[in-house]
Amino acid sequence: MGYPESPPGGEVNNIEQVGADAWKTWVEENGGLLLDIREPFEWQQTGVLPDSKLISMGELPASLDQLDQDTPILVVCRTGNRSQHAAAWLDSHGYQAANLAGGVVAVAKIRQNN
């Protein structure tokens, strides 16, 4: 299955951006789900954030039955680009989705600096 296409009309720019220093708080305060859309080889290379649901971007369209439309979703990838598009795609399908800006790379940088 191919990658989901971004919705037309610039909606990708309307997606909420959650900073790498705030993702845990966002998930907790919203009762949300952290959705990691990277490919399996990326999960193996860099690991995953705690309590992430792992559905690669290519599998996302066929996996919507694994997601609850009433649960806010914070989408994450390596640098935040793919997750931005996936969040917009989910939003266009009736899900409340936000993007983890900077992805796992930004989270790793914050962890290194602490």
Summarised one tens digit per residue, pLDDT across range 85-110 is: 999 999 999 999 999 999 999 998 98
Given this model, what pLDDT does residue 14 score? 87
Given this model, what pLDDT does residue 11 score? 60
Given this model, what pLDDT does residue 32 score? 98
Given this model, what pLDDT does residue 48 score? 84
Low-confidence spans in the chain with pLDDT less than 70: 1-12
Q: Where are the beta strands (DSSP E) in the chain?
A: 16-18, 33-36, 52-54, 73-76, 97-100
One-letter amino acid at 95 equals Y
Give pTM, 2 decimals.
0.89
Q: Coil, helix or strand for 93?
A: coil
What domains appear along the chain, each with residue ranges and CATH number?
Answer: 14-113 (3.40.250.10)
Given this model, what pLDDT does residue 8 score? 47
Cα separation of 97 and 17, whole Å? 10
From 85, 73, 84, select the one nearest 7 (Cα to Cα).
85
